[in-house]
């Protein structure tokens, strides 16, 4: 069966206003300013990060798009079964940041994680001390407006990892962070 003209790729350029493709590199991750700017360095409470929110925002290399899953509830009767929607469960998120020395990116992330689990004094924090909200902003290629806003509530760092040091490596260092969150949802302003 031949392809009709309105089914080919030229259809996309004929209606330019609605078929602009979303690109994967037009985004920003914004952390709650009050929370993140009040962090103090792990092991050095006199060291603070007053521009932490801006530094993390610029350091982000990648961030996973939040989604949830549901386990089905299966009810059987006789020789058949039906499935119902179960409880929503949000997976952990993945955040990768470039390790900029001057902005102390790694120190900021470690200070945030230390609020939930501090290896120096061997304490686990209260959720009011370590949970904050984050926002994922998606832009078109020209950054002229916000296309989509994701709200992530109750975010905290459960793991930080980074590649090993190697004398043979000339790569930019990236810090990988596992973010847990209680709830995430898109907000449409368009």
DSSP string, the chain: -PPPGGGSTHHHHHTTTT-PPPPTT-EEEEE-HHHHHT-EETTEEEEE-TTHHHHHHHHEEEEPPP-EEEPPEEEEETTEEEEE---EEEPPEEEEEE--TTTTHHHHHHHHHHHHEETTTTEE--HHHH-EEEEEEE--TT--S--EEEEEEEEEEEEEE-PPP-TT--SPPEEEEEEE-SEEEEE---
Instruction: Please say if the pLDDT value at position 74 is more than 80.
Output: yes
- Mind listing the pLDDT tens digit for each residue in 107-138? 999 999 999 998 888 999 999 999 999 999 99
- How would residue 40 be classed by pLDDT, with cut points 50, 70 and 90? confident
CATH 1.20.1180 given to domain 21-67+86-187: no
Global confidence as pTM: 0.85
On average, the pLDDT of the chain sits at 90
Q: Token match 């997976």: residue?
A: 91
Domain range annotation of the chain: 21-67+86-187
Residue 4 reports pLDDT greater than 70: no
Banded model confidence at residue 7, pLDDT cuts 50, 70, 90 = low
Report residue 74 CA to chain centroid gap: 32
- Yes or no: say if 49 and 104 are a contact pair by the CB < 8 Å rule: yes
pLDDT at residue 175, as a whole number? 97
Q: What is the DSSP string of 64-76?
A: PPP-EEEPPEEEE
């Amino acid at each position: 069966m031949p392809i009709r003209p309105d089914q080919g790729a030229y259809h996309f350029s004929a209606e330019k206003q609605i078929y602009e493709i979303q690109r994967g590199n037009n985004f920003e991750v914004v952390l709650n300013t009050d929370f993140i700017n009040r962090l103090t360095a792990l092991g050095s409470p006199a060291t603070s990060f007053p521009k932490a929110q801006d530094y993390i925002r610029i350091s982000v290399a990648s961030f996973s798009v939040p989604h949830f899953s549901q386990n089905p509830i299966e009810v059987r009767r006789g020789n058949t079964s039906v499935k119902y929607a179960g409880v929503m469960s949000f997976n952990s998120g993945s955040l990768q940041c470039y390790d900029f020395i001057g902005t102390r990116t790694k120190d900021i992330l470690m200070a945030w994680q230390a609020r939930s689990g501090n290896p120096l004094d061997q304490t686990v924090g209260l959720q009011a001390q370590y949970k904050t909200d984050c926002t994922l902003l998606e832009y078109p290629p020209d950054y002229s407006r916000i296309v989509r806003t994701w709200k992530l509530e109750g975010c905290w760092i459960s793991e930080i990892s980074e590649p090993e040091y190697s004398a043979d490596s000339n790569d930019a260092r990236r810090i990988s962070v596992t973010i847990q969150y209680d709830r995430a949802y898109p907000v449409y302003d368009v």
